[in-house]
Amino acid sequence: MKKTKSWLFAIIAVLIIIAGGWVLLVQLEGEQPIITESIPEAIGKSHTFTFTLADHRSGLRKVRVSLLKDGKQWDLLEKEFEKSGMFSGGQMQETTIDVPVEMDKQGISDGDAMLHVTLWDYSWRNWWNGNKTHLEKALLIDSKPPTIEVLSRAHNVNQGGAGLVIYRLSEPCPRSGVMVGDNFFPGHSGYFNDERIHLAFFALDHTQPPGTPVYMEASDLAGNTARAGFYHHLRKRNFAKDVINLSDGFLSYKVPEFNVQAPENSSNPLLDKFLEINRTLREKDEAFLSTLGLGTEPEMYWEGTFLRLPNAANRAGFADHREYRYQGEVVDHQVHLGIDLASFRNAAIPAANTGKVVFAGDVGIYGKTVAIDHGFGLISMYSHLSGIDVEVGQMVSKGETLGRTGVTGLAGGDHLHFGMMIHNIMVNPIEWWDSNWIMHNVTDKLKDAKSFDTP
């Protein structure tokens, strides 16, 4: 009898220990629920906050989201989550919630505000109130778009040419610049003392007609977008036509350098491979070159006219429409996006102006290529080089030797392919060799805008 009793006590004691352990470890778990947010610095007229809530121990109990501004509080959301049973915590362990807010409807005015998010779980801690996570984040409510004030005048832009617009923004805008058709040219501050004044170099692509829409666009931190027109005149340009006769000699000299395949049933693999290079590889290479200006620095590195390769003849012009013929038959059409300059073999190539080397290496049909960032989205490019003397990241001064001319890439004879680019659009280098053009379109504008600057 005595033995059974002590056994019973032992079993009860074990059960109590297990139950106590369960209460302590499971029901009284002390892990904080987690709030994952992406609250922006600023929001506009209406916004939807998104939060991910998680508690993988006792589950989600309750969430409250409120906005505090000028001593007033707006409760945006209060939500309770179901319990799954007396002893088994919350049904929901993880969920995403959307919390919309409409400033006009809810009577919230513009200005600095504070967002509060509080989340509880189903733990028995804190006298059955659960573990609590609280988050506070400051944000700006801004329902008004920025104002764009164009400070420069007379923007005359040639097809395939460049322009500069100087403008002042009423508030910080992560994105502002010029739209030319579908092309966006971002502006940058940093030239003037007044951080609100921006420069944007822009281009009318050689394919865009004079009727192309051109206007300013700016979006503030809250995403409010403003547009502004500015006086501009777009001029049509006629581009030259050129015929390139493809000889078997040229094809058998150049094609093997490229790793391309001709279709299996091809009757002329050499020509088909050339066409693959001239079309597919060209497109890929040009897409790559168009990325070289994206990391441009807001620093006006350059000064005066850009240098042209000395003692060199123009072999091909900007936006020449090339017709490729093989044995008298037209086999391809392409547009030449630079100027070809031929001097003597392996001629030293001077940097057209001061800037920072942003690329030095091989670019398919362009061969060995150097690209220089002159700041504010203006890039010069040098291709078909036989050798490169500079490295990425290096500052080069106007006239400094970058490398030597050559025949790398799809070049038949020794020459320099010289290109200029605004942001990601190739433009006519002739404008940048012309001191009058630079004066009227860049330097005079910068001088005039100086009067708007703070000392």
Give the nearest distance from C-beta 378 to Zn ion in angstroms: 20
Q: x/- binding map, residues 179-218, to Zn ion, per CB under 5 A? A: ----------------------------------------
**Cα–chain center distance at 339:** 28
Are 136 and 68 in contact, with CB atoms under 8 Å apart?
no
Distance CA 84, CA 266 (A): 70
Q: How far apart are CA 427 and CA 412, in angstroms?
A: 24
Stretch in the footprint of Zn ion (CB under 5 A) among 239-247, 284-292, 325-333, 416-424 = 416-424
Greatest alpha-carbon span in the chain: 119
What gap in Å lies between CA 75 and CA 62, rounded to an integer?
14
The burial class, CB within 10 Å (0-12 / 13-18 / 19+), for 70 is exposed
Quick check: 383 and 364 in contact, CB under 8 A? no
The tokens describing 147, both together, are 């104002």
* Degrees, nearest 5: CA angle 238-243-246: 150
**Shortest Cβ 289–Zn ion spacing (Å):** 12
Choose one: 119-127, 339-347, 421-429, 441-449; the region binding Zn ion (CB under 5 A). Answer: 339-347
Q: Which stretch binds Zn ion (CB under 5 A): 90-98, 152-160, 199-207, 409-417?
A: 409-417
CB of 335 to Zn ion, least distance (A): 11
Q: Between 272 and 340, whose beta carbon lies closer to Zn ion?
A: 340
CB nearer to Zn ion: give 176 or 405: 405
Stretch of 57-65, 124-132, 293-301, 413-421 lying at the interface with Zn ion (CB under 5 A):
413-421
What Rg value do the Cα atoms of the chain yield, rounded? 33
Nearer Cβ to Zn ion, position 286 or 373?
286
Give the x/- contact pattern for Zn ion in 297-336, rule: CB under 5 A.
Answer: ----------------------------------------
Cβ nearer to Zn ion, comparing 315 with 450: 315
Asked whether 221 and 40 are in contact (CB, 8 A), the reply is yes
Spatial CB neighbours of 378, under 8 Å, sequence gap ≥ 6? 201, 293, 296, 302, 420, 421, 422
N-to-C CA span, the chain:
102
What is the nearest approach in angstroms of Zn ion to the Cβ of residue 334?
A: 10
If DSSP states are collapsed to H, E and C, what string results for 217-270?
Answer: EEECCCCCEEEECCCEEEECCCCCEEEEEECHHHHHHHHHHCCCCCCCCCCCHH
Residue 368 interacts with Zn ion (CB under 5 A): yes or no: no
Burial grade of 269 (CB within 10 A; 0-12, 13-18, 19 or more):
middle
Rounded CA separation 163/200 (Å): 8
Out of 155, 417, 423, 445, which residue is the one contacting Zn ion (CB under 5 A)?
A: 417
The CA distance from 185 to 86, in Å, is 62
Shortest distance, position 414 Cβ to Zn ion, whole Å: 12
* Residue whose CB is less far from Zn ion, 148 or 363: 363
Shortest distance in whole angstroms from residue 328 CB to Zn ion: 24
Residue 398: CB minimum distance to Zn ion, A:
22
Kindly state the smallest distance separating residue 407's Cβ from Zn ion, in Å: 12
Q: Which is nearer to Zn ion, 318 or 376 (CB)?
A: 318
CA gap 240, 246 in Å, rounded: 19
Q: Which is nearer to Zn ion, 89 or 409 (CB)?
A: 409
Q: Which of residues 68-107 bind Zn ion (CB under 5 A)?
A: none
Nearer to Zn ion, 305 or 369 (CB): 369
Report the residue number, 205 or 340, with the smaller CB distance to Zn ion: 340
Which C-beta is closer to Zn ion: that of 62 or that of 417?
Answer: 417
Residue nearest to Zn ion (CB): 417
Helices and strands (H, E) in the chain, number of each type: 9, 31
Q: Is 340 in the site for Zn ion (CB under 5 A)?
A: yes
Q: Write down the least CB distance from residue 252 to Zn ion, Å.
A: 21
Size of the site for Zn ion (CB under 5 A): 2
Nearest distance from C-beta of residue 416 to Zn ion, angstroms: 8
- Side by side, the strands of the sheet bearing 387-388 are 348-350, 401-404, 387-388
**Residue number with CB closer to Zn ion (291 or 314):** 314
Binding site for Zn ion (CB under 5 A): 340, 417
